[in-house]
Amino acid sequence: MDIIPQLLVNSLIAGSIYAIAGSGLSMTYGLLRILNFAHGHFMMVGAYFFYLTSVEQGLNYPAAGAFTALAMLVVAVLSLKIFIMPFRRYSTMLPFVTTLALSAILEALVSIVFGVNVKSLGSGLGMTSYEFLGVFITPIQLIIIVSSLVLMTVLAFVVHATSVGRYIRALAENSYAAESLSISQMKVSFWIFTIASLFAAFAGILAGFETNMQPTMGNAYTIKAFAAMILGGLGNIWGTIAGGYILGLLENLSIGLDFWGYSLPAGYKDAFAFVIIVVVLLFKPQGLFNRASRQA
Amino acid sequence: MDYIIHLLILICIYLILAQSFNLIFGLGGLFNLAHVAVYAIGAYTTAILATEYNFGFYACLIFSALLAGLLALMIGEISLRLSHDYFAIGSLAFSAVVSALLINWKSLTRGVLGIPGIPRPELFNLDFNNIRNFLWLAALVALFSQAALYVIFRSSYARSLRAQAEFELAALALNRDTRLIKVFSFFIASCFAGVAGSLFAYYLNYIDPSSFSLGEMVSILTIVVVGRPGSFAGVMISTLILTAVLPEGLRFMKIDASILGPMRQMLHAVILFIVVYWNRARLFPVERVV
């Protein structure tokens, strides 16, 4: 079975994107206790901003990336101020409804501006794939794997070795106690939401390079990020990252291997994430890695 | 004139769909994102039974309702054990499973090509290919569904459902089996969504997965939120306004046909947001923590 190494690499590539996307979602849930149904749409919007600047305007990648980051900053701040913050204190149901509305608005806006057709970021990075020990990998795929590892390392450093990270962990564990120690939940939440949105945009750009982009891609990625988060436990950042890689692995194994002479058609790859959510919710709803949380 | 009849038929279908969602979401407080998926199951059941097996109107309607209801029981069993956050994700995942099946199970659903040539029903020696006659049928089904749902909305069962949404512990203390209550609301509402799907398939003669997207879910949610969740009359009125008046307005503005769909979706979402913003203090009962 020499298909296995290639499958593992493919899993790592898919898993990297899910891990970046999922970690942002999980940070948001951990701090704000809201499920952002527009998270996958942030990915989509990020990818389209990058498309606008790099393909349509012909900027080079660093400039396009900087523009995308700035634009996402605006999107994130507006989303937080308009769609989330006014509703948080009334009911946990309200942010579900408003972020769902936000996702529909973003999808419709992108459809109107760019059209509903499939777009591609192309591969200015070269289509030639390297062969390494019988495994084929393209430069962009290498970038995906490495950059996700770098991002995770930076995140780990910020969360575990800085004072901001200490605030984040304190707020996630017990927001009442943390606020009584004069940690501003508003301020930290604002930063976390912005970072999560930037992560989402980055994941969206990577996904745009690796496959292609469409205004409707947001939903599928929202659900995949949710799947990663459900696997790892709601609000558990490291669990979610692990969940992202596990999701990538399971997806690729499900269509790559044949089970007793029967293999799933590739079209079902996406459906697999959804089945995982249902199964995990059924048997281990607290996630694979979650510890019992402290309640006030 | 035909256009007005078309709108009236759409109103009939959306009345059933929105009012049944109102039962789950408005009274039960359950953020069920799988309602459109269940509606899709109703539509596909009718489409497949009517084209492949030549089933009649009543059989299709009943099978659509029952299959939709049974599947809802399945989701209900799984996801109603979960708390609000998890329930929303679980129902979203379920709706995604359904749309993945609709696209990929090509031998049954023909994938993105959709199922064409669904024959209009043959009943009472009337020609239902005449859109005017079909309106009577749709109105009859809608009227019956609304009457049945109205009875449910006025019953003691509805009060129990509302009670568990506002304060589950209190409902439990009053010896209400809250889980049974929730699962039953799921079953009933989904049966009606199946009926709406069946009508939709009969009316359009052609269905494909794109009619059952999350955007459709946002539209239904908008109708219920605008009409005020839990209010029977309110949802009826908002269905009339949002399905009939709004598309007319868009037509009046002479918007390019290619962006009409996204434009409608955005308008719905913006209305949803504005109404939620205005009513944010009273839209949902604040969960009481004991």
Closest B-chain CA to A35:
B85
Least confident range of B71-85, B233-247, B259-273? B71-85
For position A288, what pLDDT does the model report? 67
Average pLDDT over residues B8-18: 90
Give chain B's mean pLDDT: 82
- The stretch B166-193 carries a mean pLDDT of 82
What DSSP letter does each residue of chain B carry, written as one string? -HHHHHHHHHHHHHHHHHHHHIIIIIIT----TTHHHHHHHHHHHHHHHHHHS---HHHHHHHHHHHHHHHHHHHHHHHTTS-HHHHHHHHHHHHHHHHHHHHH-HHHH-GGG-B--PPPPEETTEETTSHHHHHHHHHHHHHHHHHHHHHHHTSHHHHHHHHHHH-HHHHHHTT--HHHHHHHHHHHHHHHHHHHHHHHHHHHS-B-GGGGSHHHHHHHHHHHHHT-TT-HHHHHHHHHIIIIIHHHHHHHTT--GGGHHHHHHHHHHHHHHHHHHHTTTTSSPPPP--
List the domain range (segments joined by +) for residue A26. Answer: 4-119+137-260+279-283
Shortest CB distance from A281 goes to which of B33, B78, B215? Answer: B78
Residues on chain A touching B259 (C-beta within 8 angstroms): 111-112
Report which residue type is found at B154.
Answer: R
- If residue A131 lies in a helix (H) or strand (E), which one and from where to where? strand A130-132
Q: How many CB atoms lie within 10 A of CB B74?
A: 13
Q: Residue B191: pLDDT above 80? A: yes
Q: Which helix (H) or strand (E) holds A100?
A: helix A93-114
Query: pLDDT tens, A76-110?
Result: 999 988 888 888 778 777 888 899 899 999 988 89
Within-domain flag for A273:
no
pLDDT tens figures, A195-234: 899 999 999 988 888 888 888 888 888 888 888 888 887 7
Is it the case that residue B82 has pLDDT exceeding 80?
Answer: no
Contact between A152 and A22 under an 8 Å Cβ cutoff? The reply is no
The answer to the question of residue A127 being in a domain is no
Give yes or no for a contact between A101 and B219, defined as CB atoms under 8 angstroms apart.
no
B89, B103, B217, B290: best mutation site toward chain A, by most A Cβ within 10 Å?
B89
pLDDT at B288 exceeding the cut of 80: no
Between the CA of residue A1 and those of A11, A119, B12, B13, B218, what are the distances in Å? 16, 35, 57, 53, 46
Which member of B213, B221, B286 has the closest CB to residue A100? B221
Domain ranges of chain B: 2-209
pLDDT of residue A75: 92
* CATH number, domain containing residue A32: 1.10.3470
Can you tell me whether residue A248 is helix, strand or coil? helix
Please tell me the predicted confidence (pLDDT) of residue B290: 44
The number of distinct structural domains making up chain A is 1
Q: What pLDDT does residue A295 have? A: 39
Q: Counting runs of H as helices and runs of E as strands, what totals does chain A give? A: 11, 2
Is residue B139 predicted with pLDDT exceeding 50? yes
Judge whether A251 is closer than 8 Å to chain B, CB to CB: no
Are B269 and A101 a contacting pair at CB < 8 A? yes
Q: Pick the residue with more confidence: A46 or B134?
A: A46
Residue A269 forms part of a structural domain: no
Q: Which residue of A has its CA nearest to B272?
A: A101
User: Per-residue pLDDT tens for B30-45?
Assistant: 888 889 999 999 999 8
pTM of the model: 0.85
Amino acid making up residue A270: D
Q: What pLDDT score does A290 carry?
A: 63
Residues in chain A predicted with pLDDT less than 70, given as ranges, are: 1-2, 123-127, 133-134, 256-267, 285-296
- ipTM for the complex shown: 0.82
Give the nearest partner residue to B269 out of A92, A104, A220, using CB atoms: A104
Mean local confidence (pLDDT), B228-252: 81
> Do A267 and B268 lie within an 8 Å CB cutoff?
no
Mean pLDDT, residues B136-149: 88
Q: Are A97 and A32 within 8 A, CB to CB?
A: no
- Chain B's closest residue to A103, CA to CA, is B269
SS3 A262: strand
Q: Is the pLDDT of residue B157 over 90?
A: no
